Amino acid sequence: LTVLGLETSCDETAAAVVRRAADGRVQVLSSVIASQIAEHAPYGGVVPEIAARAHVESIDAIAAQAIAEAGVTYADLTGVAATAGPGLVGGVMVGLSFGKAVALARGIPMIAVNHLEGHAVSARLAADLPYPFLLLLVSGGHCQLLAVEGIGQARRLGSTIDDAAGEAFDKIAKTLGLPYPGGPALEKLAQGGDPERFPLPRALLGRKDCDFSFSGLKTAAARIAETLTTEDERRDLAASVQTAIARQLAERSDRAMAAYAQAHHGFGLRFVVAGGVAANKAVRARLEETASARGFSFTAPPLAYCTDNAAMIALAGAERLALGEAHPMDAPARPRWPLDEAAALASPTHV
């Protein structure tokens, strides 16, 4: 299978070509990402109308570039996969419509991909990672622990009751006066800082579930930020925040690992972290430590596949195509689309 992937759910216009052999081996032939950061930066965050317009303007050229860099032509494609949600609906419609047009013009199947399923498979782009695995999905809009049994088979063990981890990074970075997007900027500022200088609240410590909460940390960090006068203090606060977030992610993952290990009788214990926050080195290091202490293998995608990209969308599409799936031309754009749909409908903390 040679699949063109398209990603337009937020502020990246991305296209990629991924080849999946019959034995499941995966090759990323190209992965092109056009970031709109410069267009949104003056507003301190993503402006949906600007995003949708920018996607319209560049999707054609970005897709053409991905095809060219892959060394193939449109005629070589055996399928096309486009993000159909969740995300900003104006942007999603651009990529999804483009995908449908390619499918119609070439007479090939189209897969409407859940963006979160893309993140969920992203570690499989570069590592030999079999199902099942325990997944921590930490991105700008989501913070969840999922038992992933296969493509389309995810069961949620916990999720945030307020902000996502990436959202917490972004909001706290803003109070520190850092530019959008805040996560990478905060990581940079934290370098060499003292992570124990500012004591921050530890949320949900006594709770037996695998949920997350970052709003208390956010409020506390904002209060401290107001009182800071020196550059050293700012650096130490950034380091303290980063450590507090990494610690909570590890603590809740540790709980999930214990439950997962029991359910799987101690066999095939694999822990995976994916999503934009998985790019953070302190987060990766702490999770790796936790996984190893629990007897789990640890896999994180290469940095380029942590944040939004189309290679992960192409792979999710290819895995579904390999199962014989294809979606109709009236497949809708879905601004909200939980990965574990059935479980989410029953869940009181549905994000």
Q: Which among Mg ion, Fe ion, ligand ATP, none contacts residue 301 (Cβ within 5 to 8 A by kind)? A: none
* 141 interface partner picked from Fe ion, ligand ATP, Mg ion, none, CB below 5 to 8 A per type: ligand ATP
270-274: strand order across its sheet: 153-159, 143-150, 133-138, 270-274, 297-299
Contacts of 341 (CB under 8 A, 6+ apart): none
Rounded Cα distance, 288 and 314, in Å = 27
Write the DSSP symbol of residue 219: H
Angle at 278 between CA 350 and CA 254, to 5 degrees: 65
Q: Is 279 in the site for ligand ATP (CB under 6 A)?
A: yes
Size of the site for Mg ion (CB under 5 A): 3
Is 5 among the residues that bind ligand ATP (CB under 6 A)?
no
Under the binding rule (CB under 6 A), the answer on residue 183 touching ligand ATP is yes
Q: How many CB atoms lie within 10 A of CB 323?
A: 10
Tell me whether residue 138 is annotated as binding: yes
Q: How far is the CB of 199 from ligand ATP (least distance, A)?
A: 21
DSSP designation for 305: G
DSSP per-residue string spanning 111-143: EEEEHHHHHHHGGGGTS--PSPEEEEEE-SS-E
Does residue 141 have a known ligand-binding role? yes
Residues 307-326 interacting with Mg ion (rule: CB under 5 A)? 308
Residue 10 interacts with ligand ATP (CB under 6 A): yes or no: yes
Judge whether 114 is annotated as a binding position.
no
- Is residue 143 exposed (0-12), middle (13-18) or buried (19+ Cβ within 10 Å)? buried
Which residue sits closest to ligand ATP, CB atoms considered? 276
Q: Does 166 bind ligand ATP (CB under 6 A)?
A: yes
141: contact with ligand ATP by CB under 6 A? yes
Please check if 140 is assigned to a binding site.
Answer: yes
Is residue 31 involved in binding ligand ATP (CB under 6 A)?
A: no
Q: Which stretch binds Fe ion (CB under 5 A): 61-69, 159-167, 240-248, 308-316?
A: 308-316
277 binds ligand ATP, rule: CB under 6 A? yes
The annotation status of 176 as a binding-site residue, yes or no, is: no
The interface mask with ligand ATP, positions 100-119, x = CB under 6 A, is ---------------x---x
Of 59 and 220, which CB lies nearer to Fe ion in the complex structure?
59
Angstrom distance (rounded) from CA 277 to CA 28: 22
Closest CA to 314 of 124, 39, 56, 37: 124
Crossing angle of helices 89-106 and 48-70, rounded to 10°: 30
Q: Is residue 91 close enough to count as binding ligand ATP by CB under 6 A?
A: no
User: Is the CB of residue 273 less than 8 Å from the CB of residue 136?
Assistant: yes
Instruction: Write the CB contacts of 151 (distance below 8 Å, at least 6 apart in sequence).
Output: 117, 121, 131, 316, 319, 320, 323
Angstrom distance (rounded) from CA 35 to CA 271: 29
Scanning residues 8 to 27, which ones bind Mg ion (CB under 5 A)?
Answer: 10-11
Q: Concatenated DSSP letters for 173-202?
A: HHHTTPPSSHHHHHHHHHTT--TTSS----
- 280 makes contact with ligand ATP (CB under 6 A): yes
Closer residue to Mg ion (CB): 10 or 250: 10
**Annotation: binding site for substrate:** 137-141, 170, 183, 187, 280
Residues in touch with ligand ATP (CB under 6 A): 10, 87, 115, 119, 139-142, 166, 169-170, 181-184, 187, 275-277, 279-280, 307-308
Residues in touch with Fe ion (CB under 5 A): 139, 308
Residues in touch with Mg ion (CB under 5 A): 10-11, 308
